[in-house]
Structure formats: C-alpha cells, structure tokens
Amino acid sequence: MMKFAKITLIAMMAFVAVFSCKSDDDIARFAELRDRGEQQVEDDAALVEFLSTHFYNYDEFDATNPESAANDTFTMTFGKIEGVNADKTPLIDQVEVRTTTYFDVEYKYYVLKLREGGGKTYTSFDQVNLTYRGQTLDLGTFDLRITEQSIPLISATQSTVRGFQLGLPEFKTAEDIIEGSNGFLQARNGGIGAIFIPSGLGYFSVPQPNIPEYSPLIFSFNVFSADFLDTDVDGLLSSMEDLDGDNDVLNDDSDGDGIPNFRDSDDDGDGTITVNEVVQKTYVVNPGDTEPVLASNELEKTRDTDDDGVTTIRTVVLTDTDGDGIPDYLDVN
Ligand SMILES: [Ca+2]
Ligand SMILES: [Ca+2]
Ligand SMILES: [Ca+2]
Ligand SMILES: [Ca+2]
C-alpha cells in the first residue's frame, strides 16, 4: 500500500464505536434511548435546514474541469449563507438524496459529489485510504485527518458508522499516484465529496468525544486508494461473502454459528477451512495479450497493472466437486 508523507496529528478519535448500545447496562447508561423513527424525522429536518442555509467553497473548485490536477488538493469547507455570502448557492441545490433501511427505519442521507474519481471502485466491506474531516451541524470539527488514513469500512472487530460505510463507495480511488514537485506522493483524480448523515446512520444514542448523542454528522473527504479486504483470510474477498447481496455482511452466516461468513474461516462449519475448499488462480496478461476467459464459477479478486502495462489478475474458483450446485466451501456433505 502507498504511504503518504506523515505528519503527526492529534488523533481525536477513530471509527471504532458502533452501536454498542446492546446490553442492559448500556441502555441504563443512556436512559433516554429515543425511538429511531422519531429521531429520524427530527434529524432530517435539521439536515435540510443545514443544507438550505449553508454553502461550500465551490469558488475554489474548478467545476468546468473537475478532473484537473488543480482540484487534486481541494479541501472542502462550509459556511453560512449570510452577509457577504448572502448570494451563495445553498448545498440543498447541489446534494443528491439517498435512502436506506437500517434497524427497520427508512433513512435519508445526502451526498455531495464534486468528483467521482478516475480509479477503481470498492465496496462497503473494503479499506479506504483517504483524508477527511468530520463535523457536527454547528460546524464543530470532531475529527480531522489531513494525511492519508487507512480505514477498513468493516473489519474483524469493528465497523465504521453505517452512513460512512454506505457513502464512501459512491466515490472511486485516484487513477494514479504520482510524485509531486515537493517529493510527496500525490493522488491524481481521486474522489472528492461529502456526506451528510442522520444520527441513526451515525452514533445515534452513544456520545463520542466532541459528538453529543443524537447528532447528525458531516464527513468531507478526498479518496486516494482502496484495498480489497479478505477479513477472515479465507481466500474470498469480504464483498464475496455478502451472499444475499443486500450490502450487509453481518446477516450472512451459512453454518449458523453466530459468526458471519466474512469473519468465519470455515463458512460451512464442516471442519475444513474455506481456503482449502476453493482454488486461487493468478493470470499475467502482457500488453497486447487477450484477457483470460474466467470459468462460470470463477470470481475476479484483484487486478493490478504495472508501469510496463503488465496486468496481474487474481481470481478464486468456487469448486463444486459433487456437482450439486453448492460450492464446496458451503457444502457440508
Ligand atoms: Ca447480506
Ligand atoms: Ca458462520
Ligand atoms: Ca468466510
Ligand atoms: Ca468448510
């Protein structure tokens, strides 16, 4: 993974807290546990109010040529529409609305897409390398990372807040990492944007340093690169273990042992670990060569092209020895 120049920062918080409000102790601690549906109504009103009365520094972003190198170092800031800024365009005219169901509540969140990014796509289960700022609606900053951070959107032990997990994959990585004139590595044409999420897709009732409970959150960011995760190191990417394809890896547990597949190294619980029930393959494609044709039970995991144009493709074959349509790693018989 690329390392960017590091500057020592005060780490105010990491994305380690997720809905820890499961035990009676926690519920007692947060005595005023609110109804998610009612809180969402309140939060959405607050988000719409914020987006209607604030703008971002679009004067500093070259929207006529979003992919320009000049935009690579753009840092988003927000301001209130008033005084000398009274004629600014409000964010509400620039964001896109998204909906999602979470804990049985229909949530709305908002995405501001300045630049999608020219590199690869990743999923809600991969690691994103980015810079970002986290703010509450009063524009107080609770987290600021001005050098590249590697954030697994969900890992073996922790998860980012759901809104972050859903919003980030709308942006792609940089198309290239180049050495800038200052000797630092620079990301060329990476995703730039912001997400505005209700507390129900954030920390909800659990207060965090500089984040009161029930706070809608703003994250603005510049995406550099991403690493596809295989959390349980079983040869399948975490994104391949969302078997029902509902963009949630926590609800797929083939052997019912309480450990979701993406964290389970023996997915069918037959005593043979998954990595020994699938076959890994590597293809090297030289410039001008034709692409390999993958088998119907073969999935591409990664694809990397070096400076000479040589592409290395890694795949996994989901073998089905007895031909019953169930791949070996999920077949207990
Ligand atoms: Ca799922
Ligand atoms: Ca399991
Ligand atoms: Ca697994
Ligand atoms: Ca197995």
Among 174, 169, 111, 154, which residue's Cα sits nearest to residue 262?
154
Place of tokens 């990664």: 302
Distance 308 CA to ligand 4 centre (A): 39
Torsion angle of C-alpha atoms 150, 314, 241, 205, degrees rounded to 10: 10
Check: CB of residue 166 under 8 Å from CB of residue 200.
no
**90 vs 54: CA distance, rounded Å:** 5
Which two three-digit tokens encode residue 194? Answer: 């912001």
24-227 maps to CATH 3.40.640.10: no
Which two three-digit tokens encode residue 26? Answer: 């926690």
Place of tokens 């393959």: 281
pLDDT tens, N- to C-terminus, the chain (333 residues) = 444 433 323 333 344 333 333 444 554 555 569 999 999 999 999 999 999 999 999 999 999 999 999 999 999 999 999 999 999 999 999 999 999 999 999 999 999 999 999 999 999 999 999 999 999 999 999 999 999 999 999 999 999 999 999 999 999 999 998 887 777 778 999 999 999 999 999 999 999 999 999 999 999 999 999 999 999 999 999 999 999 999 999 999 999 999 999 999 999 999 999 999 999 999 999 999 999 999 999 999 999 999 899 999 999 999 999 999 999 999 997
DSSP, collapsed to helix, strand or coil, labels residue 290 as coil
Q: Which ligand is nearest to the CA of 268?
A: 4
| pLDDT value for 322 | 96
Q: Which ligand is nearest to the CA of 273?
A: 4
| pLDDT value for 333 | 77
H/E segment holding residue 44: helix 36-53
Q: Per DSSP, which regions of 198-239 are E strands? A: 217-227
Distance 329 CA to ligand 4 centre (A): 5
Neighbours of ion ligand 1 (CB under 5 A): 242, 244, 246, 248, 251-252
